[in-house]
């Protein structure tokens, strides 16, 4: 097996996907410092399951994801995969190639995969057991592992030797077995608790089950009597019901006859009533028709008036149109005359404009000649001016050069003076720099002293924190115990309160009644809730009360009656009620002398506490019962008073008047009377436990506050140390900077001397250049004066031509204005003509529109006159209709009065029949009530049978016993049976089945207990066997490693000796491992006394020894030879090749000796800041040279 490749993407500085492919031999990964080559080793640890961000040189696990740079965005995940060749099937998996990968997202989600299938980290660890591969194995060795080997603490080397000895998987199996053992022990504790609880319940349940059996026998006999009594009473009630039904039929027949007669009268009355209503509707209809006709007459009359007004309006409009037509004709004639005048003006103005245009053509020729001569003069003047401007520009340039030479001369002179000043300052700075360097060296010594003091204080704080952590652990244990006691009390209290609220232990009827307490204020409560007594008397008082402990106290008999009806209606069973208004005490106890007898504790009524309003009821229930301490005293007392007393003992024995005794193994820790007391006690117990919890929490808080304060002190001290270290680094850096500044000042002073000489030479050169430029400037000024004189002469001649040209232009402008004036007048006359033509067309159109409007108006007048004639005819028609409807309404009113009289007569006859029906109805209701009472009695007895025995009448027939025919005897016997059942007290029929279930569960849990004990013993044997096997295997392998270590050490050091030593007096599986070495020419000594290079080479010798004995398929070495000198690096590289027969090596290095020993190289560099990339080695050779 060997490592084929590593694929990295988004991990630390590897932003892009990079694939490293490996072969047998030694592969080197090289690159300059800070290029990210050690991130390859971190990637290998990470993919193999490293969970510590600190071990990966980060603050949190998300820090391994590429965080981005100025040019790149952060990655969303980190991914690493390694691929191994498994053709020799060293790994226990049926694949020739195995790829293990790990991916982490910024959200915190992560995944592991083996050959693309999701898996657990545990699966990866088990895959590599005993191969040396793993985050804690010796296949990945970095400077951290070297430091742990070099550490002065022997136990830190332990993991390396456990992996090399092959006992890691056994240690993990032992840990798993130990965890299972701890779980089994916890299960045993729980089983023991359950067994104790079940054992506590079995005894009382057995007594309750026997009592329940007796109850069931009595109940079955009572059932037989109850059912036969029900059958006899139901038969008698049914006979009475049949007689009542026959009488009801006779009354019903009479009622039907009267009802038919009444219905006939009622039908006739209703028909007449309908007829009267129809006549009323006809009257209303006729009145409405007459009113509608009157309204229509009024509407038509109004419409006729409106039409007359419209005719008059149309006639007036026709006269107005004729007047307008006459005015339009006169206006058209006037505008035609104005149009003719405008046409004559247009012709006159156009003729005069043409004459003016011909006159202007002569002056235009003179103007053209003058303009040409003026243009020639202007061109020559412009040419002269351009020459002058060019000369002026040249003059300006020369003047600028003169100024530039002067300025540069002054600047160079100033620069020279500045350089001289700088030279003097640099000499002063060098003197001050030497003084600063001396001061920084002194400050550095003071910082070192302060750091030593802070580190001593940090050690004291660390010891205090350790003591506080131990105190917190102890306080937490006490808190856990207090919290456990609190939760036990709270759970039991809630359970009892739940039982009390649900009236658990009471009969169903009692629970149903107590559910009505909020709705029926007269319910005071059950006897058990209204009294209390000392715990000592609970058993005695509950025995004395017997079944009456579940009796319900009410305010009066009405409330009790209401509740009895409630139980009947809801088939909820029976209950006994104790109304306060009817329950009275039985007077004074007649045998007062008995209360002073030996062993007598008092009357039961005096030993209970209750509110004054219930004292009479409690006297009634308990005022005749004596409480004695023991049964012996009770028997002696009863014998002395001739068995006339009712006595109860503290243990629950009951001696009845007459001499009967009740007793036995009575045990009941959940009695109704004790429940209230236990709730109060548990409340107090819970409060005490809560106080203990709060006390421990306060103590923990106090210690934690002190602990936090010390941690803050430690943090502040660490910060102070860190700050002091930073300050020291700052001072050290400032010292280096001061030395650098002094050296720079010395170098700068030398440079300034050369710059001063250069400035002097430049000043001489600038002075010569300025003299030459001043001579050129004088020559240009003379040329410019000649050209200015010629330009002045030409300008005078140009002015004369411009004056002549202005006169010609003025004459031409006058002609143009005259022509334009004639043209404008002609245009105005043309616009007037067009406007008049448009107005004439508008008047002609209006004339046509007015003629059309007059023609339509005559037609409308004729139409409206015809409409008025039609309205007159309709008015006459509506008047006739109105008169006819009024006559019809009067006739209908007369008939309505006649029919209304008939309807009243039928109504009076119906009233008499209704009175007769009411009498018969009352008789029928009385018989119905009698029937309902009989049916209610029958149903009440049937309901009792249904609620008590879940039987209907047909089912009850199966229990008929013909020998039972005396109802009084049967009632007497049932009362006796109920009394005996009541004497049994509280009975739980479920106790029989519950006793069976609890017994079976008790036996099952005992078997489980035995199985757990056997399992515990087996696990202990497994742990012992693993311990023995690991000790034997570790001892053998340790001795082999020690011998091989000595051999490799001698080869790498060229002599000397080395040894491994187990810590004495400690279990071999937990013992630390010491390293003793003796390099050539030195004494045998502890490894911590060696030099840095000797320690590193010793650690490497140990790693090579382990590889020799148990080679890992591959081994990644991360700069472990960094501390070696060149000769030892060569030895290191040479020995690597000796191990390549069985192990493939990947070496991360920057040492040239190691690189030369590699079979192939990969280069890592940061061509882009913050991003590692893989390049050919040739591209980074220069970087490597610079990093040496």
Q: For the chain, list the domains and their CATH numbers.
A: 1-139+1115-1140+1149-1187 (3.40.50.300), 513-671 (3.30.70.1620)
What confidence score (pLDDT) does residue 669 get?
45
With a cut of 80, say whether residue 986 has pLDDT above it.
Answer: no
Query: Of the segments 212-216, 800-804, 824-828, which one has the largest average pLDDT value?
Result: 212-216
Q: Which long-range contacts (CB under 8 A, 24 or more apart) does 868-871 make?
A: 868/304, 868/307, 868/308, 871/300, 871/303, 871/304, 871/307
829: Cβ contacts below 8 Å, ≥ 6 apart: 342, 343, 345, 346, 349
Instruction: State the DSSP code for 532.
Output: B
What confidence score (pLDDT) does residue 114 get?
93
What is the share, in percent, of the chain residues with pLDDT greater than 70? 89
Instruction: State the DSSP code for 1158.
Output: -
Average pLDDT over residues 936-957: 76
Tokens of 1186: 């610079």
Q: Choose between 1101 and 813: higher pLDDT.
A: 1101
Q: What is the pLDDT of residues 41-86, one digit of tens each?
A: 899 989 988 888 887 888 888 888 998 887 788 888 999 999 999 8
With a cut of 90, say whether residue 7 has pLDDT above it.
Answer: yes
What confidence score (pLDDT) does residue 317 get?
65
What confidence score (pLDDT) does residue 556 get?
92
Place of tokens 């529109």: 849
Q: What is the pLDDT of residues 339-369, one digit of tens each?
A: 777 777 777 777 777 776 666 666 666 767 7
Average pLDDT over residues 1043-1072: 83
What confidence score (pLDDT) does residue 79 get?
94
Across the strands, what pairs with 77? 105
With a cut of 80, say whether residue 748 has pLDDT above it.
Answer: no
Which residue numbers belong to the known binding site? 32-39
What confidence score (pLDDT) does residue 668 get?
47
What confidence score (pLDDT) does residue 364 get?
66
* Alpha carbon separation from 218 to 85, 213, 224 (Å, rounded): 86, 9, 10
Which residue numbers belong to the known binding site for ATP? 32-39
d(CA 1186, CA 1188): 6
* Alpha carbon separation from 288 to 66, 293, 298 (Å, rounded): 99, 9, 15
d(CA 1180, CA 817): 94
What confidence score (pLDDT) does residue 8 get?
94
**HSE-CB of 605 using CA atoms within 13 angstroms:** 19
| Mean pLDDT (the chain, rounded) | 79
Q: What is the pLDDT of residues 133-149, one digit of tens each?
A: 876 667 788 776 776 67
With a cut of 60, say whether residue 372 has pLDDT above it.
Answer: yes
Instruction: State the DSSP code for 646.
Output: E
What confidence score (pLDDT) does residue 551 get?
92
What confidence score (pLDDT) does residue 98 get?
93
Average pLDDT over residues 1003-1024: 79
Tokens of 452: 């030593």
DSSP string of 1039-1091? HHHHHHHHHHHHHHHTS-EEEEEEPTTS-TTT--EEEEEE-TTS--EEGGGS-
CA 257, 259, 260, 264 dihedral sign is positive
Q: What is the pLDDT of residues 116-130, one digit of tens each?
A: 899 988 888 888 877
Helix or strand holding residue 649 (H, E): strand 646-649
Q: What is the pLDDT of residues 778-800, one digit of tens each?
A: 777 777 777 777 677 777 776 77
d(CA 1058, CA 1039): 13
Q: Is 952 helix (H, G, I), strand (E, B) or coil?
A: coil
What confidence score (pLDDT) does residue 666 get?
54
What confidence score (pLDDT) does residue 626 get?
94
């Amino acid at each position: 097996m060997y490592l084929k490749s590593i694929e990295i993407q988004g991990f630390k500085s590897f932003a892009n996907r990079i694939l490293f492919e490996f072969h047998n031999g030694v592969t080197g990964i090289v690159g300059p410092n800070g290029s990210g080559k050690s991130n390859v080793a971190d990637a290998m640890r990470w993919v193999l399951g490293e969970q510590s961000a600190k071990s990966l040189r980060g603050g949190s696990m998300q820090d391994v994801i590429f965080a981005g740079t100025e040019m790149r965005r952060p990655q969303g995940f980190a991914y690493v995969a390694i691929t191994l060749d498994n053709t020799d099937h060293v790994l226990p998996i049926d694949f020739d190639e195995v790829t293990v990968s790990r991916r982490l997202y910024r959200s915190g989600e992560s995944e592991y995969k083996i050959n693309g299938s999701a898996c657990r980290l545990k699966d990866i660890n088990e895959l590599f057991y005993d191969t040396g591969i793993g985050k804690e194995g010796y296949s990945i060795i970095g400077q951290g592992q070297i430091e742990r080997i070099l550490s002065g603490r022997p136990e830190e080397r332990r993991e390396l030797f456990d992996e090399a000895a092959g006992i890691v998987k056994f240690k993990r199996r032992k840990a798993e077995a130990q965890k299972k053992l701890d779980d089994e022990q916890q299960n045993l504790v729980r089983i023991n608790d359950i067994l104790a609880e079940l054992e506590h319940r079995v005894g009382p349940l057995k007594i309750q089950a026997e009592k329940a059996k007796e109850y069931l026998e009595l109940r079955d006999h009572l059932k037989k009597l109850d059912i036969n009594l029900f059958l006899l009473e139901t038969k008698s009630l049914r006979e009475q019901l049949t007689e009542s039904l026959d009488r009801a039929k006779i009354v019903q027949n009479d009622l039907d006859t009267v009802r038919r007669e009444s219905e006939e009268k009622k039908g006739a009355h209703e028909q007449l009533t309908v007829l009267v209503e129809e006549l009323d509707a006809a009257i209303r209809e006729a009145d409405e028709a007459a009113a509608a006709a009157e309204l229509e007459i009024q509407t038509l009359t109004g419409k006729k008036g409106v039409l007359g007004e419209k005719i008059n309006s149309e006639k007036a409009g026709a006269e107005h149109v004729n007047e307008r037509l006459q005015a339009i004709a006169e206006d058209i004639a006037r505008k035609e005359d104005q149009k003719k005048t405008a046409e004559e003006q247009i012709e006159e103005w156009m003729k005069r404009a043409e004459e003016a245009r011909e006159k202007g053509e002569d002056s235009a020729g003179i103007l053209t000649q003058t303009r040409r001569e003026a243009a020639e003069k202007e061109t020559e003047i412009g040419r002269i001016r351009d020459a002058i401007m060019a000369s002026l520009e040249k003059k300006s340039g020369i003047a600028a050069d003169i100024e530039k030479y002067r300025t540069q001369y002054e600047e160079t002179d100033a620069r020279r003076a500045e350089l001289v000043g700088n030279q003097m300052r640099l000499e002063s700075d060098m003197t001050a720099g030497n003084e600063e360097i001396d001061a920084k060296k002194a400050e550095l010594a003071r910082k070192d002293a302060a750091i030593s003091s802070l580190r001593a204080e940090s050690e004291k704080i660390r010891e205090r924190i350790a003591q506080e952590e131990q105190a917190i652990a102890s306080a937490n244990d006490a808190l856990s115990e207090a919290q456990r006691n609190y939760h036990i009390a709270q759970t039991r209290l809630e359970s009892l309160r739940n039982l009390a609220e649900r009236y658990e232990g009471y009969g169903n009827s009692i629970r149903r009644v107590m559910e009505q307490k909020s709705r029926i204020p007269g319910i005071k409560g059950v006897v058990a809730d209204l009294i209390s007594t000392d715990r000592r008397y609970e058993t005695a008082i509950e025995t004395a009360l017997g079944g009456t402990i579940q009796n319900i106290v009410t305010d009066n008999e009405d409330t009790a009656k209401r509740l009895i009806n409630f139980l009947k209606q809801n088939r909820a069973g029976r209950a006994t009620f104790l109304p306060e208004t009817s329950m009275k005490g039985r007077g004074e106890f007649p045998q007062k002398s008995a209360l002073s007898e030996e062993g007598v504790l008092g009357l039961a009524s005096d030993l209970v506490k209750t509110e004054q309003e219930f004292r009479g009821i409690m006297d009634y229930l308990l005022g005749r019962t004596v409480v004695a301490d023991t049964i012996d005293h009770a028997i002696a007392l009863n014998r002395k008073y001739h068995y006339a007393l009712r006595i109860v003992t503290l243990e629950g024995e009951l001696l009845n008047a007459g001499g009967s005794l009740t007793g036995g193994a009575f045990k009941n820790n959940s009695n109704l009377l004790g429940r209230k007391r236990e709730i109060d006690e548990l409340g107090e117990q819970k409060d005490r436990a809560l106080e203990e919890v709060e006390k421990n929490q306060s103590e923990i808080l106090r210690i934690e506050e002190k602990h936090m304060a010390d941690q803050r002190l430690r943090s502040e001290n660490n910060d102070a140390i860190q700050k002091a270290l930073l300050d020291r680094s700052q001072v050290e850096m400032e010292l280096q900077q001061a030395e650098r500044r002094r050296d720079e000042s010395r170098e700068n002073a030398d440079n300034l001397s050369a710059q001063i000489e250069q400035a002097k030479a430049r000043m001489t050169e600038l002075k010569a250049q300025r003299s030459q430029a001043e001579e050129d400037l004088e020559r240009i000024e003379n040329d410019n004066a000649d050209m200015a004189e010629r330009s002045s002469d030409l300008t005078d001649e140009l002015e004369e031509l411009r004056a002549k040209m202005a006169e010609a232009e003025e004459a031409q402008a006058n002609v143009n204005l005259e022509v334009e004036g004639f043209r404008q007048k002609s245009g105005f006359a043309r616009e007037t003509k067009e406007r008049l033509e448009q107005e004439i067309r508008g008047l002609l159109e209006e004339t046509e529109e007015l003629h059309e409007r007059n023609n339509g108006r005559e037609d409308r007048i004729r139409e409206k006159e015809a409409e008025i004639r039609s309205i007159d005819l309709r008015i006459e028609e509506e008047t006739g209709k109105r008169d006819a409807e009024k006559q019809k309404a009067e006739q209908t009113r007369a008939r309505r009065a006649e029919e209304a009289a008939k309807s009243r007569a039928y109504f009076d006859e119906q009233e008499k029949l209704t009175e007769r029906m009411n009498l018969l109805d009352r008789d029928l209701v009385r018989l119905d009530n009698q029937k309902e009472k009989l049916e209610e009695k029958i149903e009440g007895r049937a309901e009792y049978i249904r609620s008590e025995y879940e039987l209907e009448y047909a089912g009850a027939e199966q229990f008929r016993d013909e020998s039972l025919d005396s109802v009084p005897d049967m009632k007497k016997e049932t009362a006796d049976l109920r009394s005996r059942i009541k004497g049994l007290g509280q009975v739980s029929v479920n106790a029989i089945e519950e006793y069976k279930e609890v017994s079976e569960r008790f036996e099952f849990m005992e078997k489980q207990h035995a199985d757990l004990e056997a399992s515990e013993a087996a696990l202990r044997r497994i742990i012992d066997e693993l311990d023995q096997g690991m000790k034997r295997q570790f001892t053998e392998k340790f001795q082999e490693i020690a011998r091989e270590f000595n051999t490799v050490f001698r080869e790498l050091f060229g002599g000397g000796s080395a040894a491994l030593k187990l810590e004495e007096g400690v279990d071999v599986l937990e013992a630390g491992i010491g390293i003793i070495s003796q390099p050539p020419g030195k004494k045998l000594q502890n490894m911590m006394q060696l030099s840095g290079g000797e320690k590193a080479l010793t650690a490497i010798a140990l790693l090579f020894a382990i590889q020799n004995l148990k080679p890992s398929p591959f081994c990644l070495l991360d700069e472990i030879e960094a501390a070696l000198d060149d000769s030892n690096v060569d030895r290191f590289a040479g020995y690597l090749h000796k191990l390549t027969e069985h192990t493939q090596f990947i070496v991360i290095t920057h040492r040239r000796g190691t690189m030369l020993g590699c079979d192939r190289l990969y280069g890592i560099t940061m061509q882009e800041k913050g991003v590692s990339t893989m390049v050919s080695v040739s591209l980074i050779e220069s970087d490597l040279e610079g990093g040496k």
